[in-house]
């Protein structure tokens, strides 16, 4: 049993091999992800439609993240805050195309990797990351952090299980992305417990 587990770990995964080949093809140094502390993000398999975007495209997430997204959006709407799902799941192949297109457009690799993840390392592969817009056609720029939607998210996203991945000065070498949030089921469980405990406290106060 232990021997098998050891062998499984020692053998490079097929996905890892695909990622390495893609990085080489794009001219991305193989050591770059480790230097920047990026974690390999496997592609999600089971995806469901979480929302329809402004262009009528289906935006997909894993089931738990899709449910959390819809609950958070409904919660925000109660406070008159509109949250738009601009981008959700993105495949490894699509990330390769994005980086390739930018290279062909003449951008330097350094510049590209300040805003785009190397293929295999985008949180969007996991089906748990969302790019949120304050408007239907939000340009996803740093000005998002001046919107009411962002202010609402900073106060409420955690209890729905969403966390900001790349704040200003993040250690991964990405520019600040106030629109990019990751669903973390562990955070969602803590958030749910806080709501219950908070409710109990309120109740205790009211009855005292």
Q: Which residues bind Zn ion (CB under 5 A)?
A: 131, 180
Closest to Zn ion by CB, 123 or 187 = 123
For residue 203, the minimal CB distance to Zn ion (Å) is 39
Tokens of 78: 């109660």
Q: How far apart are CA 199 and CA 102, in angstroms?
A: 50
C-beta closer to Zn ion: residue 144 or 152: 144
| Pairwise CA distance, residues 151 & 154, whole Å | 5
Burial class (CB in 10 A: 0-12, 13-18, 19+), 122: buried
Residue number, 43 or 131, with CB nearest to Zn ion: 131
**Contacts of residue 68, Cβ cutoff 8 Å, sequence gap at least 6:** 160, 161, 162, 183, 188
Q: How far is the CB of 207 from Zn ion (least distance, A)?
A: 45
Cβ–Cβ under 8 Å, residues 100 and 119: no
Of 22 and 138, the one with the shorter C-beta distance to Zn ion is: 138
Query: Would you state the structure tokens that stand for residue 91, as one six-digit string?
Result: 């495949």
Residue closer to Zn ion, measured from CB, 76 or 130:
130
Distance of closest approach, residue 172 Cβ to Zn ion, in angstroms: 13
Nearest approach, Cβ of residue 109 and Zn ion (Å): 19
- Output the residue with the shortest Cβ distance to Zn ion: 180
CB of 183 to Zn ion, least distance (A): 12
Q: Minimum distance from CB of 61 to Zn ion (Å)? A: 12
Which residues, 6 or more positions from 120, have their beta carbon under 8 angstroms from its beta carbon? Answer: 15, 18, 19, 22, 23, 33, 40, 41, 92, 95
Terminal-residue alpha carbon distance, the chain: 57
- Within its chain, how far is the Cα of 86 from the centroid? 12
Considering the complex, state which of residue 20 and residue 94 has its C-beta at the smaller distance from Zn ion. 94
């Amino acid at each position: 049993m232990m021997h098998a587990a050891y062998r499984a770990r020692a053998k490079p995964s097929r996905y890892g091999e695909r990622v390495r080949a893609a990085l080489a093809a794009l001219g991305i140094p193989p050591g770059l992800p480790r230097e920047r502390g990026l974690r390999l993000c496997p592609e999600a398999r089971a995806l469901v439609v979480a929302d329809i975007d402004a262009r009528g495209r289906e935006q997909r997430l894993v089931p738990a993240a899709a449910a959390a997204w819809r609950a958070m959006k409904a919660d925000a709407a109660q406070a008159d805050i509109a949250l738009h799902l601009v981008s959700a799941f993105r495949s490894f192949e699509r990330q390769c195309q994005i980086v390739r297109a930018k290279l062909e457009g003449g951008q330097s690799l350094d510049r590209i990797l300040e805003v785009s993840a190397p293929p295999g390392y985008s949180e969007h592969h996991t089906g748990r990351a969302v790019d949120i817009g304050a408007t239907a056609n939000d340009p996803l720029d740093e000005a998002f952090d001046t919107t009411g939607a962002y202010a609402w998210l900073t106060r409420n996203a955690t209890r729905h299980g969403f966390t900001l991945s790349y704040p200003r000065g993040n250690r991964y070498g990405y520019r600040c992305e106030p629109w990019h949030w990751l669903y973390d089921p562990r955070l969602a469980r803590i958030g749910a417990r806080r709501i219950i405990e908070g409710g109990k406290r309120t109740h205790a106060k009211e009855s005292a």
